[in-house]
Amino acid sequence: MTRLKHRALTSVLALAGLAALLVPLHNFRAQRALQAYKVRLVAKGEKLTIEELVPPFSADAQRAANDLVQAAWQLRQGAVVPNNLPKAMEFVRPGKANVGWKQSAIRDAKKTNTWEELAEDLKMNAGPLEQIREALKTPQLDMNLNYKMGFNLLLPHLAKVKGVAQWLLAATINDLHAGRLKEAAGNLNTLLFLANGLRDERLIISQLVRMAIAAIAISPTWEALQADGWTDEPLAELQKNWEALGFLQPMEQALAMEGAMGIETFDRLRNSSAERRQLFDDLLSSGGTGSTGPATPTNIVEVPEFALEWSKQRLLSLSSGRNRLAVALVLRR
Which tens digits make up the pLDDT trace of 60-70? 999 999 999 99
Instruction: Output the pLDDT for position 322.
Output: 43
Q: Quick one: 234 and 290 in the same domain?
A: no
* Cβ(268)–Cβ(278) below 8 Å: no
Q: Are residues 233 and 137 both part of a single domain?
A: yes
Query: Are 293 and 167 found together in one domain?
Result: no
pTM (predicted TM-score):
0.77
Amino acid in position 111? K
Q: Cα torsion at 200, 203, 206, 208 (round to 10°)?
A: 110
210, 113: one domain: yes
pLDDT digits over 158-180, tens only?
A: 999 999 999 999 999 999 999 99
Question: Does 236 share its domain with 291?
Answer: no
* Whether the bond into 82 is cis, omega within 30 of 0: yes
Of 7-21, 115-129, 228-242, where does mean pLDDT reach its minimum?
7-21
* Domain-located, residue 317: yes
Helix 157-177 × helix 115-124 angle, to 10°: 130
Q: Are 125 and 76 in contact (CB under 8 A)?
A: yes
Mean pLDDT, rounded, of the chain: 85
What is the C-alpha radius of gyration for the chain, rounded to an integer number of angstroms? 28
- In angstroms, the CA 26 to CA 7 distance is 28
Residue 131 contacts residue 179 (beta carbons within 8 Å):
no
Contact indicator for 188, 169 with CB cutoff of 8 Å? no
Instruction: Say what the pLDDT of residue 290 is.
Output: 47
SS3 state at 289: coil
- Banded pLDDT at 273 (limits 50, 70, 90): confident
- If asked whether residues 167 and 294 sit together in one domain, one would say no
Q: In whole angstroms, give the CA distance from residue 195 to residue 213.
A: 6
pLDDT digits (tens, 9 = 90+) for 77-86: 999 999 999 9
**Are residue 219 and residue 78 in the same domain, yes or no?**
yes
Of the pLDDT bands very low, low, confident and very high (cuts 50, 70, 90), residue 11 is low
CA distances from 113 to 48, 102, 110, 120, 189 (A): 53, 14, 10, 11, 26
Please give the C-alpha separations between residue 268 and each of 50, 151, 173, 258, 300, in angstroms, as whole numbers: 14, 12, 50, 15, 10
Q: Which 8-state DSSP code applies to residue 200?
A: T
First vs last Cα of the chain: how many Å apart?
63
Q: What integer is the mean pLDDT of 229-253? A: 97
Residues 175, 291, single domain; the answer is: no
Whether 253 has a pLDDT exceeding 80, the answer reads yes
Q: Which range is least confidently modeled, 7-21, 33-47, 144-158, 181-195?
A: 7-21
Nearest to 60, CA basis, from 138, 137, 161: 138
pLDDT digits (tens, 9 = 90+) for 113-160: 999 999 999 999 999 999 999 999 999 999 999 999 988 899 999 999
What is the sign, positive or negative, of the torsion defined by CA atoms of 263, 265, 270, 272? positive
Q: At what angle do helices 157-177 and 181-197 cross, to 10 degrees?
A: 160
Mean local confidence (pLDDT), 31-53: 88
Amino acid at 135: A
pLDDT at position 71 over 90: yes
Residues 288 and 214 in one domain: no
DSSP-assigned beta bridge partners for residue 90: 98
The single-letter code of the amino acid at 50 is I
Instruction: State the residue range of the domain holding 327.
Output: 276-332
Is there a single domain that holds both residue 130 and residue 80?
yes
Number of domains the chain contains: 2
The predicted pLDDT at position 281 comes to 72
Nearest to 164 by CA among 198, 194, 186: 194
Asked if the model's pLDDT at residue 108 lies above 70, the reply is yes
Asked whether residue 23 is domain-assigned, the answer is: no
Q: What SS3 state is found at 92?
A: strand
Q: What is the mean pLDDT of residues 38-61?
A: 93
DSSP 54: S
Confidence (pLDDT) at 19: 62
Give yes or no: residues 137 and 239 share one domain: yes
Q: DSSP readout, 128-187?
A: HHHHHHHHTTSS-------GGGGGG---THHHHHHHHHHHHHHHHHHHHHTT-HHHHHHH
Distance CA 206, CA 276 (A): 27
What confidence tens digit (pLDDT) does each residue in 295-321 have?
Answer: 655 554 555 555 556 555 655 554 444
